[in-house]
Amino acid sequence: MPNITYPSPVQTVITTFETSPGTCQDLLDELQDAYASFISKQQGFVAAGLHVNDAQTRIANYSQWQRREDFQAMLRSDEMRQRNRRINTLCRTFEPVMYDVAAAFD
């Protein structure tokens, strides 16, 4: 389970996917499979969460990694490159962005 703290010892990546109600569940299934069978087993993976808006037009993914290089190595793997090609067919756009935690509140 993701744990948001400041200062944070982990690298945070937030990815947003623009999709449609007709493909939202298919995209969510693809993302869940990617995490269950591949991403969560990669070096440096800490935790992740998937969020869907009420209109089913956006999915937000929050993931944490031990190091920036761990996330980048996962993205560059042949397996993830193939998965991203499939994911790309289920959404209009998606963009992973690395962030540093600036503040956390309980």
Where are the chain's structural domains?
11-99
Pick from 2-6, 77-81, 98-102: least confident: 2-6
pLDDT tens, 47-81? 999 999 999 999 999 999 999 999 999 999 999 99
Annotation: CATH topology of 11-99: Alpha-Beta Plaits (3.30.70)
**Other Cβ atoms within 10 Å of 24 Cβ, number:** 20
Name the percent of the chain lying above pLDDT 70.
100
**CA neighbours within 13 Å on the CB side: how many for 35?**
16
| pLDDT number for residue 104 | 95
What is the spatial distance between Cα 11 and Cα 26, in angstroms, rounded to a whole number?
28
| pLDDT number for residue 75 | 97
Q: Is 105 helix (H, G, I), strand (E, B) or coil?
A: coil
